[in-house]
Structure 1
């Protein structure tokens, strides 16, 4: 569905089909973009393994910390490719607490071939610090790369999900307390439909638990 289609569906469902509209187009477009981001996180809908800006990070020797692409929120698979050998090593994504339990001195280890990675909200730390340059290759769950803004734009998530995005926009519209269309009952009903389809939104603790303490590979203990 195009953005134009989604706006038309919203107006039909909201019974807001005559001008002047209760909710103007920029508001509706903003809610539909919110909806796609919410759906992507709740349903883990956008797994990227091919976009270079998202899935490749250049690694420098003796540098441990790297910036993740701002749209990445969960790493599904991680490999380090050394520059000298092009050998690919799968890295386990774990937490600091996990490494503290397994090897309390991991912060002080000399540079070596990385075996673990710690993901924070925006960065990735390699453990041990890499002794040679190379490349990180990620498979990661992310948010949409671009917002839908023009009438013929389409959401990045699969078309099968598009119509359900409107329920988030309806939830936001009917939930505006100062608007003529304020209707908390309809707002909650629309939210329930959206949540039933895409799932509950994981809180920050759950998102950390999803990426920490359960290594994505067999655990390799530091010497």
Structure 2
């Protein structure tokens, strides 16, 4: 029996909509009834995960509880940074007997597995917010891989792009700048990349990246389909 997917969304709205499109596209279906039922809380008013983490954690836990009450059996949150504030979500899932898909763990596993098949990649660049960087540094280190990160003006440029996407800026200049930042990581020794922020794939396609790119939103969508079907 197909399970009901609950999505903690709105961080940001465009990234959440793109994630849902991925879930739909990845679901093997012959008609409407073959697709996954989704209940979603699209809440753009979640406090900023970078500047108000404690407040964000409280709100995220409440969102998970509402999704559980609405019948969700599998919970997913297409926001990498917010996984640092996922304790409240995990508590709800444990109490209600629900599954929570860890986006960071799933993406780190996928990135390492993809590259182990080739030349044993040991350094993976991460395009993420500071909070997301910390999560992926730990996740990759536990798998024996070093994270390569942006710094200084390049990190500031990345954050400007992320907030630009939230304002609707996905134009050519923004796309060119994200591609440049991917190149900075590759030039710094990254043998592969992780799109560790759900805004990244709205500006950078995997086929355009200078090295193999693992898209965290794609990984999460694929995991949701597997868990619900």
Which of the pair is proportionally richer in helix?
A: 2
- TM-score, normalised with respect to structure 1: 0.24
Q: Which has the higher contact order (CA 8 A, sep 6+)?
A: 1
Rg larger in 1 or in 2?
1
Which of the pair is proportionally richer in strand?
A: 1
